[in-house]
Structure 1
Amino acid sequence: MAPYSADRRAFLSGVAGTLTAACVAGCLGNESESDSSPEPVVDAAEAVDGDTDPDAWRDVEEIRFDGYVGGWLGLEPAAIDRVENPTLVLVEGREYEFTWENQDGVHHNFALWDDDEEVVDGYSTDGNDIVGERETLVFEASAEMETYRCEYQQAGQKGDIEFIHDAA
């Protein structure tokens, strides 16, 4: 019985050593990954950072997104094409038309929030859970707008808002 016991111990020691090495390698790998930019969650997205240069946004009045559980996908303007949860750059006081389309059949809506996580001036869509269904929200940009969200998928569908105060 002693030889069997020794073989078992050797086997278990080998497994423990292999698991330890894998864990250390995994931790080191994760550390280097955290130094790089995050990858998009939505398969159709190509990036997580759009163009926030004010010149790219000065003439924008229409914004289009696709809605997925994992995040919003920017379509228009070109500065956010295929960008997941892009930062919106708006001109304070300008009227915008925001349209989004449901891509996954999960219930989504679009809402503009202030820094207290309250909907600004009632600016939110009713929401829908029908693939291909679109909703449009017309709003006037105001400096109190901090973020945009889906109120049903708040963790994944959210993005920041920046303002151009001088549209010249």
Structure 2
Amino acid sequence: MMGDATTAESGDSTPDGSGARPARGSERATGDGKNTDGSAAGGMTRRGFVRSAGATAAAGTVAAVGADEAAAQTQTYRFGGEVAAWRGREPSAISGQSNPTIELRAGNEYEFWFENIDGAPHNITIQDADSNAIAQSELVSSQGATASVTFTATPQMTQYICTIHPTTMVADLEVTGEVEGGGGLGVPFGALVLVAGLALAFVSPILFALFLFSRRGGSGGETTAG
């Protein structure tokens, strides 16, 4: 008569008789303090360490690119130029206004563009409080001709003016904030972030090697109770 007991497959039992088998792919610690996959026992693998450092560097690169792109954007103001006044056109906040006051942010780049409406000679000039020209467009004398001036706003800028008709074609500039890095080396913040990210990616293998060395030194000093 056949018995009810089943025969255990070879290799399924363990020394403690539990029959439990280790999960496939599980890590086993070796004598040198590393797992069989080369990672430090109980610690982070080299691949994981490098990935973490790489992610940090990538985030820094994205931040740097975003900062540079934001700084590279130029805001344009458009005017009509005639002897009577500057006529605001764009953006919509100044549309239809005569000699509108323009609010600027220090360190940002702007373009002041105008069309000659009446055929008289006109230019557009950015001046400081002492009427010194900081930036200036070319002079245009034909009706329908256009000109523009592009500049980076600074707190010294106080007005925009046509130097040919300074009593009528003149309006205020209100500049807020300060130019970043005015007293430093003038290195853009985005560039600093990018350099820091690249440096971290470069030194990450060295940092990981030091990490493994410290783990080995710590495990080497331990004694096993006999």
**Does structure 2 conserve the Cα–Cα contact (< 8 Å) formed by 1:99 and 1:134?**
yes
How far apart in 1 are the matches of 2:83 and 2:154? 27
SS in 2 for 1:84: coil
**Does structure 1 conserve the Cα–Cα contact (< 8 Å) formed by 2:78 and 2:90?**
yes
Q: Is the strand fraction higher in 1 or 2?
A: 1
How far apart in 1 are the matches of 2:92 and 2:132? 29
Match of 1:113 among 127, 131, 134: 127
Give TM-score, length-normalised by structure 1: 0.61
Give TM-score, length-normalised by structure 2: 0.45
% identical equivalent positions? 33
Partner of residue 186, structure 2: none
Partner of residue 165, structure 2: 153
Give 1:97 deviation, angstroms.
1.5
How far apart in 1 are the matches of 2:152 and 2:113? 14
**Does structure 1 conserve the Cα–Cα contact (< 8 Å) formed by 2:74 and 2:111?**
no
Matched, 1:91 2:109: no
**Does structure 2 conserve the Cα–Cα contact (< 8 Å) formed by 1:102 and 1:133?**
yes
Structure 1: gaps of 5 or more residues: 1-58
SS in 2 for 1:130: coil
The higher radius of gyration belongs to 2
Partner of residue 165, structure 1: 177
Partner of residue 68, structure 1: 82
- Farther-moved stretch of structure 1 (60-69 vs 85-94): 60-69
Give 1:164 deviation, angstroms.
2.9
How far apart in 2 are the matches of 1:98 and 1:148? 9
Please give the root-mean-square deviation of Cα atoms over the aligned residues, in Å: 1.5
Distance 1:60 1:162, change over 3 A: farther
Matches within 5 A, 1:40-51: none
Runs of 4+ in 1 over 2 A off after TM superposition: none
How far apart in 2 are the matches of 1:90 and 1:155? 23
